[in-house]
Structure formats: structure tokens, C-alpha cells
Amino acid sequence: VEYASPRLPFGLSAGCACAVLVPAALGWLERREGSARPWFRCVMSELCADRTGSLVLLAALIVGVYSVALGTIQLAIGGSNPTAVAAITVAGNCTLCVLLYAVLRRVDAVMAKAILFAFLRGAIVPSTEILFAWSHDPSKGDTRCWTEDECEAEFCPSNTTDILPVDWEQADFRAAENTTCYVDPLSTTELVCGWSKAREYPCLQPSVYSWLGVASMLSIVAGTTLYSSYFVRWRFRTMLASAQLFLALTGIVDLIFVTRLWASWLPDWALILFGDTVFTTIVDRLGDMAFFIFCAKLCPPKVEGSMFALQMGLSNFGSNAGLYLGTAILEIFYPKLHAPEFEGLTSYITLRSALRLLPILLVPFLVPRGRPSDSAKELGAGQAITAEADEEEQGVEEKTDLSHRTSVEAGDEEAAAADDNDDVDDSNAAEQKV
């Protein structure tokens, strides 16, 4: 996008989508008729056919209504009354957890606790984009990262006599009246030209963040591979608590990045790459893998898809609730945390890192015991989840017993036949002697 135009990625996306039609049009794909069996259809009447499906549907409706209501409130009064939004968010999150547990514990208590952890691990940790706003250079048309010479050449031509003397260490938020120099006339914030560069902010270009996004995707693959190779035998509680602890420790890297302690000899992109991008993504992926596995194991039979979708939806909604909480914290406790000074940024990063430890307190109470190799019954799940597995296990045992009895009876018959043959041989030998 930086070196071509926005049409290039959109064109590539459209071309890749259309490329799927080529093998289908040429008949390279195998054609299979869809099953007409009625139990493969997914309709609401079938979901409500039993008690478990009805409770799962009720929980999904509660989450949907609350998420729409919270988003509407955030859009309506989020900017004008952040205190009310923060109070509504906290109270609403607590109410949602109580309702979900009251509904889903009637299916299984262990599953209900896992549902709560899926939501709370993101909802109680505030998140914002303030660090990105502080460090990035939006585009070539933005003047925040221009040097003094660039600003002078653009806004102070050689025939200008009304020149504003600018202290580049203490650049004013607003330009003085009747000033033509060092001020971007198209800027809606009325910030002095080059205010970010003057304060030695990172000014990372969009291309840097694009490559960081690529590194983040590779880190997801690395985290998945690392989990499958070394951490698959860890207990769920140990894995999730350790992952959350290391996520909190990444705040140290963010503090180094914000305070500019190593800016003289370590590039800014390296701190983000090995801090908030690679390391954080790998650790977060390790925790997600453990979370995905025990969520899949704790799905009731016949509604596995609906239950797993509810768990994943709650996990994503918890992250959004954490974003609402982080925005409210900035508005209430850090009203001056905005351009150009970003007052209190170090304090906010410290608070965010400390609050990342809160999900560790929930792990002993909400995360099931056991390892990924354990069955749902070994994780503590009740009859509603393990009934089908118990029936299958009982059927396998009965088949094994029947096979064993059949083999024993066949062996007894063979032994009896062998004894009869021995008796006949003995009698024949006796007759021959006579």
C-alpha cells in the first residue's frame, strides 16, 4: 500500500477469491452429494428439543442482548460521561456472569465456570490503543513526525516575515494567533508541526507495523508448535497461570519503550517486535491452546457446535469489554493522556501490567483440573457431558467382554475336542496291542 496504492491488496484479495472458481469450473474438485439425513440440519426447534439445548440457547440470547446494549451505551454516552459507562460496564459484567452461571450450572457446574473464565480473562484487563497513538506516524500527509527543516520549508517560505520562534523542546499545543509558521493549516487538532519528532517519540511508519503484523502471524504458528511439542502435558491451571504471568511481565518491555531508556542504541521496532509482538503473541497463544482444548472437552453432546461457539464468542466479547473498561479508565483517571504530551503514559502502562495479573486469581476457581490428555470425566464434568462417552465406553467394554467370552468358549471347545481325539487315539492303540 505504501509503495503502490490501496487497489493492490484489494485486487489481490478479489483475485484469490475468484481463483477458487477455476478448479471448480474445470471439474478438478470431487463432487459429493450432501446428506439428506434430518439430524444434520441445525434449526432452533431441534436445539430446543431437550433441556440442555434450551439452556445453551438461553445463555446465547443473554450474551447477545447484553453485548448489543453495552455497545449502544458506549457509542451514545461513552465520550460525554465515561464514569457512567465504567460503572455500567462493571455492573453489567458482574450481572452477566451471575446470569450465565445460574443458567449453565443446570447443565454442568464445571462447564459454567469455564464459560465465566472465557469472558472474565479479557473483561477485567483494560486495553487501549494509546501506545499505538503515541508511537506511530499515521501517514505521509501528517506533519507530527516532520523535522524542523521540513516544517520550515513547508510553512515558512523565504518571503514570510511573520515567523514564530518555536522552542522544539516545549512546543505549544496551539499555535499563537496570526502565525503562519510551523503550523499545519489542514490539521484538525491544531498541533504544532513536528510535535512528535520534537519530543523524540518513536514515529514508527505504517510499513513497520505491517511487518510487525507479519511477525505476529508467524508467532501464532510458533506458539502452536511450541505448545504441541513441549507444553501439551502441562496442567491447564499451570499453563494459563504461567501465560498470564508472562503477559504481565511484558509490561516491563513496554515501560522501557515508553521511557526511551534504550533508544540511543536499541531501535524502537526491536522493542515492539520482541516485546508486544512476538513474545506476547507466543505466550498468549500458549494460553489460548489450553483454553481451546478444555472448552472443547466440556461441550455437552448434541450441542457441541453451539456450546463451543458460545465459549469463543464470550472470549472475544470479553476482550471488547476490556477495551470499554480501558477507555473509561483513561477518561476518568488520565484525562491528560493525549497528544502532544501524553501525560501519565508510564503510570498507565504500569497499571495495565499490574491488572494483567488479575486473571491468575480466577484460575484456581474457574479453570478445570487436569491435562489436555484427560477426558471430560477426569476434568470433573458431570453426567450431562460424560453420559455419551460413558455409554460408548460401556459398549466397548461389553464388546470386549463378549469377545473374551467367545474366545474362551472357543478355546474350551477346542480343548474338549483335543481331549476326545486323545481318548480315541488311546483306545485305538490299546486295541492294536490286544
Residue 66: helix, strand or coil by DSSP? helix
What's phi and psi for 183, nearest 5 deg? -125, 130
Cβ burial 4-36 (10 Å sphere, 16+ → b, else e): eeeeeeeeeeeeeeeeeeeeeeeeeeeeeeeee
Greater confidence (380 vs 234) lies with: 234
The Cα–Cα gap between 131 and 250 comes to: 14
Which of the residue ranges 37-41, 90-94, 132-136, 248-252 would you say has the lowest mean pLDDT?
Answer: 37-41
Position 207 scores a pLDDT of 83
Looking at residues 24-46, what average pLDDT do you find?
Answer: 59
Greater confidence (21 vs 317) lies with: 317
Q: What is the DSSP letter of 184?
A: -
Position 166 scores a pLDDT of 46
Q: What is the DSSP letter of 177?
A: T
Indicate the pLDDT class of residue 91, thresholds 50, 70 and 90.
very high
pLDDT per position as a tens digit, 224-282: 898 988 888 899 999 999 999 998 888 888 888 888 887 777 888 888 877 777 888 88
The Cα–Cα gap between 382 and 107 comes to: 8
Position 1 scores a pLDDT of 47
Residue 181 has pLDDT above 60, yes or no: no
Position 347 scores a pLDDT of 93
Residue 426 has pLDDT above 60, yes or no: no
- Please name the residues in contact with 347: beta carbons below 8 A apart, sequence gap of 6 or more: 334
Which of the residue ranges 113-122, 191-200, 286-295 would you say has the lowest mean pLDDT?
Answer: 191-200
Compute the radius of gyration of the chain from its Cα atoms: 33
Contact 115, 248 (CB under 8 A): no
Greater confidence (384 vs 322) lies with: 322
- Please name the residues in contact with 151: beta carbons below 8 A apart, sequence gap of 6 or more: 143, 181, 182, 193, 194
Residue 192: helix, strand or coil by DSSP? strand
Residue 428 has pLDDT above 60, yes or no: no
Residue 178 has pLDDT above 50, yes or no: no
pLDDT per position as a tens digit, 275-330: 777 888 888 888 888 888 988 888 888 888 888 889 989 999 998 889 888 888 88
Cβ burial 413-432 (10 Å sphere, 16+ → b, else e): eeeeeeeeeeeeeeeeeeee
The Cα–Cα gap between 384 and 392 comes to: 14
Indicate the pLDDT class of residue 176, thresholds 50, 70 and 90.
very low
Position 92 scores a pLDDT of 93
Greater confidence (304 vs 96) lies with: 96
Q: Name the average pLDDT for the chain.
A: 78
Residue 396 has pLDDT above 60, yes or no: no
Looking at residues 119-123, what average pLDDT do you find?
Answer: 92
Residue 171 has pLDDT above 60, yes or no: no
The Cα–Cα gap between 196 and 144 comes to: 5
Q: Which of 298, 296, 306, 240 is nearest to 111 (CA)?
A: 298
Identity of the residue numbered 70 = L
Position 284 scores a pLDDT of 86
User: Cα 163 from chain centroid?
Assistant: 51
Indicate the pLDDT class of residue 423, thresholds 50, 70 and 90.
low
Greater confidence (378 vs 406) lies with: 378
The x, y and z cell numbers of residue 10, run together, are 484489494
Identity of the residue numbered 344 = G
Position 124 scores a pLDDT of 92
Position 45 scores a pLDDT of 61
Indicate the pLDDT class of residue 419, thresholds 50, 70 and 90.
low
Position 164 scores a pLDDT of 44
Position 98 scores a pLDDT of 95
Indicate the pLDDT class of residue 40, thresholds 50, 70 and 90.
very low
Contact 187, 143 (CB under 8 A): yes
**Among the CATH numbers 1.20.1250.20, 3.40.50.620, 1.10.490.20, 1.10.10.10, which is that of 41-136+202-383?**
1.20.1250.20
Greater confidence (349 vs 172) lies with: 349
Q: Which of 19, 125, 196, 136 is nearest to 362 (CA)?
A: 125
User: Cα 270 from chain centroid?
Assistant: 23
Position 174 scores a pLDDT of 39
Indicate the pLDDT class of residue 101, thresholds 50, 70 and 90.
very high
Position 193 scores a pLDDT of 80
Position 31 scores a pLDDT of 62
Which one of 72-86, 172-186, 368-382 scores highest in mean pLDDT?
368-382
Indicate the pLDDT class of residue 80, thresholds 50, 70 and 90.
confident
Q: Report domain extents, the chain.
A: 41-136+202-383, 139-201
